[in-house]
Each structure stands twice: as C-alpha cells, then as structure tokens.
Amino acid sequence: MLWTDLTVPQIREALMEKDLYVGDQVVRDLLREAGYRLRKAQKYLDMGQHPDRDKQFLNIARIKAEYLASGNPVLSIDTKKKEWLGTFYRAGRLYTLGGPVLAHDHDYQRFAEGVVVPYGLYDLKENVGYVHIGTSKDTSEFACDSVEWWWATSGHRLYPGATSVCLLADGGGSNHVDKYLFKEDLQKLSDRLGLAIRVAHYPPYCSKYNPIERKLFCHLTRAAQGVIFDSAETVKYLFEKARTAAGLSVVAAISTKVYELGRKYAEGFKENMKILFDDFLPRWNYKAIPQPLP
C-alpha cells in the first residue's frame, strides 16, 4: 500500500519549487492518473473465527428463508450505541444560517442531562426500522419490552395471522447468548403475546453481518449527524427522518420506564425452563413457546 499524507496544496507548493506551476485541480488529476484515491480504514477484517461460524450462517439463511416465505415476521434486533443528552460534540457537518454550533470540549458524563438507549428492530419483509428510545438502562427486560412495543404498535397489524416471530441477534449485550435472564424475559414475552419466538444468534465477531447494522443503524447515524442531542424528543425526530432510495422508513418511540440493573433470573428457572433448544448448535438457536396460563 502506497500512500501520502501530503495535501493537494502541499503537493502544488512542492511542484512550484521545481518550477512547475499548476492549480489544485491539476494535482488532483495527476493523483487520479497515478492511481491514488481518497480512502479511509474500513472495519472489515475479522478478529477471530468460531469453528461453527459458517454452519451457523447457513442455518440462519435457512431460518430466514423459511420465515420470509411464511406469514410470520423476521426481525433483526440490536442496541445502537447509547448517547448522552446535553451540549456534547457529535460528528458531522450541516448547512446552517447561523454561526458555528458550540459544544463542550470534553464529554464528561457528569455534565449530561440524561441518556438515550436506542433499541432497534428491523423488519426484513417490510423494510421498516423501529427504534425504541429508552432513557434508562440497556437490559434484557428492555430488549423484550422493545419487541412487545413493536408488536403492539405495528406487528399485530402487519402480521395478523402470525404464530411465530424470528429474532436475528448478536451474541452479546442485553440479548446475550448465555444470559438466562434474557431467556426468562423472552419466555414471559412469548406467554404475553401468545406467539412462539425463535432466536438465532450470529457467531462471535460477526455482528457486522446482522442486517440491522447496514439496513438501519447506518442511516440513523446519517440522519442525526452533526446535531446536538439536547432531548430524547430531538433524537426521535431525527431518527424518524431517516429515509433511503430503497424505501426504508423509520418509526420511533420514547420509553421512560426505569430498568433495574443486576436482576437475577428466578430460582429454579434454569432447571425448569420451557425454552426449546435446537439439536443443531443449541447455544445459538432456540425457541420460546407460549405456555398456558395457570
């Protein structure tokens, strides 16, 4: 890889020292003819690879195709990076009529006026993103409440005959692959909705392949670039502005529910849980079946 950190004006000035007088555009043309392009580093190289990675990708493709061909929804879910509310710097540039947007020179949490925790759900069939904007903590209960919010506001209307929901998720965070608390909350959600909930986790180091990353989150970032997050309402307004030429639309809502950290799953749940684990890679693939009320 050949590269230069010289700017176009610096190259032009260096040419002037050799009695070659050209403009900036000529320098850009010369760089292009020599094969130079403006590039930036891309997060692409895997930091590790699980031995069952490819098997799980094939399994997810099979499950996804099965749901896409049925009347049941398939959602890609994940928590977007939390953001502090207040006069904090945010990357991006915007056309404005006023002067510069001023922000604190340090992002100290103690100066924050609150926090937003955007939990995203991307409907693969409808090409619609849903963002449940929490103002508390990112917990397994919040993750399950976000799925319930989606079902109550849109899911039941879009999929009136649904018997099951498929969730494509990473292996960490509030929907951690090894958290029994998440599985307990998932079972409770299944019981409340009366729907089976199938979960398929992406292998370690593969979160970038979760559809929500490239189908929703990148567009939310673009829609909110350069704007100070002064309130949860501002975040909601910006997220709902996200659009793409492919027809993406976004629905957002604010949740003020306070979530508790450090919760434990109920005594005896692990030994008596009704979660059905697949025979194939059961750690990553399982289903919650609604249980009859006592």
pLDDT, tens only, 15-39: 999 999 999 999 999 999 999 988 8
Domain of 185, CATH number, reads: 3.30.420.10
Q: Do 140 and 185 belong together in one domain?
A: yes
d(Cα 19, Cα 144) in Å, to the nearest integer? 69
Is 45 among the domain residues?
A: no
pLDDT digits (tens, 9 = 90+) for 110-143: 999 999 999 999 999 999 999 999 999 999 999 9
Q: What is the secondary structure of the chain as a DSSP string?
A: -------HHHHHHHHHTTT----HHHHHHHHHHTT-------S-S-S---TTHHHHHHHHHHHHHHHHTSSS-EEEEEEPPPEEESS---------SSSPPP--SS--GGG-SEEEEEEEEEETTTTEEEEEEESS---HHHHHHHHHHHIIIIIHHH-TT--EEEEEE-SSGGG-TT-HHHHHHHHHHHHHHT-EEEEEEPPTT-GGGSHHIIIIIHHHHHHTTT----SHHHHHHHHHT---TT--EEEEEEE-----TT--PPTTHHHH--PEEPSSSTTTEEEE-PPPP-
**Residue 277: inside a domain, yes or no?**
yes
Per-residue model confidence (pLDDT) at position 294:
66
Q: Are 254 and 148 found together in one domain?
A: yes
Closest CA to 118 of 229, 240, 254: 254
Q: Does 250 map to a domain?
A: yes
Please indicate, yes or no, whether residues 75 and 213 belong to a single structural domain of this protein: yes
Domain annotation covers residue 99 = yes
State residue 89's pLDDT score: 93
**Same-domain status, 30 and 118:** no
35 and 87 housed in the same domain: no
Which structural domain range is residue 19 located in? 1-39
Q: Are residues 75 and 13 in the same domain?
A: no
CB 235 within 8 A of CB 83: yes
pLDDT at 225: 93
Q: Are residues 122 and 25 in the same domain?
A: no
| One domain, residues 9 and 117 | no
How many domains are there within the chain? 2
Residues 31 and 124 occupy one common structural domain: no
Q: What is the mean pLDDT of each run of 10 residues along the chain (294 residues)?
A: 86 94 94 90 76 96 97 98 95 85 90 96 98 97 98 97 97 94 97 97 94 97 94 97 95 97 94 96 97 77
Residues in the chain: 294
Q: Mutual orientation of helices 140-150 and 180-193 as an angle, nearest 10°?
A: 20
Average pLDDT, the chain: 94
Whole-prediction pTM: 0.86
